[in-house]
Structure 1
Amino acid sequence: MAGPSLRPHVHWAQRHRELYLRVELSDVQNPDISITDNVLRFKAQGHGAKGDNIYEFQIEFLEPVEPKPICRVTQRQLNITVQKKESNWWERLTKQEKRPLFLAPDFDRWLDESDAEMELKEKEEEKINKMKIESRVPKDPFKHLKKGYLIMYNLVQFLGFSWIFVNMTVRLFILGKDSFYDTFHTIADMMYFCQTLALMEIMNSLIGLVRSPLIPAVVQVFGRNFILFVVLGSLEEMQSKPVVFFIFYFWSIIELFRYPYYMLSCIGIEWKPLTWLRYTTWIPLYPLGGLAE
């Protein structure tokens, strides 16, 4: 025959719109929390006053609440937030007048009605002040145009360097080492296009379209363009050297991650694997590219 169920100590507090329940259980596992017919039902494995056991309780609320509680588990306790259906102050938590023995006020969060009203008023005033401040900030009429331009620029560069990378990779698999010697004649036109377009990165930084510092952009763009247009473009004996393959290949790999990262940043999206690749691949590739150059 099963014994009586174990109940954890539960502390509660309220605001006009929310109820807070703090369940005194540590190392909680498999919490089952639901609200049906205005009754909260709780069951979980955890370490409480009676050791490591299964604890459960139920509370029938005084007034209607939303049926979707928010649960946050920490190592020492479990916190439940319940939204009231109507914003008002309750005289007690439960429908039954006699308080259950396992239930007690949470004095760490406890406020009386007047203090809670003051807190609510302060939050509303803070929200209004924030809206006023935001309304005073002049809006950029060209914001969407700038964002569209940056997205398009990064997309075009990504497609260009993707074409270079895929073309070189396919040729490497088909022709092997023979592809090293005609890389310039096969890829140069697209590389000319991408690196000429890259001059816009200096302009973007100069006029404040992007927050990237100007000096690194100038060094990278002019450094690459010097190698491409002056060294490789004017010295025909260099164009058939295998080193051209490695220079172009390293450049394209770096940009395969850099431009998509910038493009997603324009629309406020951060994809963590891409961010990691963006800030990791350059560590070995920049020295290798510099060595090849």
Structure 2
Amino acid sequence: MSSLRPSFRLVYIFLYNLFQFCGHTWILANNIARFLTFGKDALADTFYSVGFVMSLCQLLSILELFHIADGIERARLFSRFFQVVEKNLLLITVIMLEEIQSKPVVCVQLFLWNIMDLLRYPHELLCLMEKPSITMLWTRYTLWIPVYILSAATEGVTIYQALPYVEPKVPESSSSNSTGSSQLHLSFALMFYLPVLALGASVTVWLLLKERKHHLNRWNKQTKKKK
């Protein structure tokens, strides 16, 4: 049974990365097709079209924290933890506030998330198949960083645009006191989240730069040994 364990783990992580790659490919293709067909009008209902699949992919991304902790995947736990948490928290906010689902910034956010994941999962699949590519490696750890910075900035804009929709209104009766209180708590939570997002994203970028240097140096050493 112990000899079957590594192969089972390999099949599992391969299928996971393949599912994520196919899911994000479908989302990106759907967005591009709708934009080419309907133009700017497609931005208004982007979340309605791909929100379920995006939410499913991001929910499953929580498994990546267990992959890293278990040693199936080699990555920095803090940076991945922050990325997973910030995406899922923002998705929960967008789902709760239907008013911002049609905002263009949400469409941009989904587009950037897809670009990030489509830069990562193909590289992971090639590594699992023992067919690493220096092009994919460089793309994964170089282009991914500026796209992440843009994504974090867009998340901040999304949260900022969501604030007016959670500002508590003066209750007209006692029955609406609980609603006003929950809106107040959510408003404070979103305002507190903005500086946390800025700090966490800065630390994540620093860790990603260190991770990029490590992987590129290891590739160079392996290339020299083969020569």
TM over 0.5: yes
Q: Does 1:274 align with 2:136?
A: yes
SS at match of 2:107: helix
C-alpha displacement of 1:183: 0.9
> RMSD in angstroms over aligned alpha carbons?
1.4
Separation of aligned partners in 2, 1:176 and 1:183? 12
C-alpha displacement of 1:254: 1.1
The residue number in structure 2 matching 1:172 is: 35
Q: Does 1:184 align with 2:31?
A: no
Give TM-score scaled by structure 2 length. Answer: 0.65
Separation of aligned partners in 2, 1:248 and 1:218? 19
C-alpha displacement of 1:286: 1.2
Aligned-partner residue type, residue 58 of structure 2:
Q
C-alpha displacement of 1:251: 0.4
Separation of aligned partners in 1, 2:25 and 2:103? 22
Q: Does 1:212 align with 2:114?
A: no
Separation of aligned partners in 1, 2:73 and 2:146? 26
The residue number in structure 2 matching 1:259 is: 121
The residue number in structure 2 matching 1:152 is: 15
Structure 2's unaligned 5+ residue stretches are: 156-227
Deviations 1:117-157 (A, max 9, x none): xxxxxxxxxxxxxxxxxxxxxx8541111111111100000
| Pick aligned residue for 1:243 from 90, 105, 109 | 105
Separation of aligned partners in 1, 2:50 and 2:4? 40
SS at match of 1:240: coil
The residue number in structure 1 matching 2:169 is: none
Deviations 1:168-221 (A, max 9, x none): 111111111111111111110110110111011011112222121221111111
Separation of aligned partners in 1, 2:149 and 2:41? 25
Answer 1 or 2: which has greater strand percent: 1
Separation of aligned partners in 2, 1:277 and 1:208? 24
The residue number in structure 2 matching 1:13 is: none
Aligned-partner residue type, residue 233 of structure 1:
I
SS at match of 1:142: helix
Structure 1's unaligned 5+ residue stretches are: 1-138
SS at match of 1:212: coil
- Where do 1:61-76 residues align within 5 Å? none
Separation of aligned partners in 2, 1:287 and 1:215? 17
The residue number in structure 1 matching 2:216 is: none
Separation of aligned partners in 2, 1:200 and 1:140? 24
Separation of aligned partners in 2, 1:216 and 1:249? 21
Larger radius of gyration: 1
Aligned-partner residue type, residue 162 of structure 1:
T
Higher alpha-carbon deviation: 249-258 or 140-149: 140-149
Aligned length: 154
Q: Does 1:223 align with 2:78?
A: no
- Where do 1:78-227 residues align within 5 Å? 141-227=4-90
Separation of aligned partners in 2, 1:262 and 1:219? 20
Contact 2:69 2:77 in 1 (8 A): yes
Separation of aligned partners in 2, 1:234 and 1:251? 20
Contact 2:9 2:72 in 1 (8 A): yes
The residue number in structure 1 matching 2:164 is: none
SS at match of 2:103: coil
Separation of aligned partners in 1, 2:137 and 2:71? 23
Deviations 1:47-92 (A, max 9, x none): xxxxxxxxxxxxxxxxxxxxxxxxxxxxxxxxxxxxxxxxxxxxxx
C-alpha displacement of 1:159: 0.1
Answer 1 or 2: which has greater helix percent: 2
SS at match of 1:268: coil
SS at match of 1:281: helix
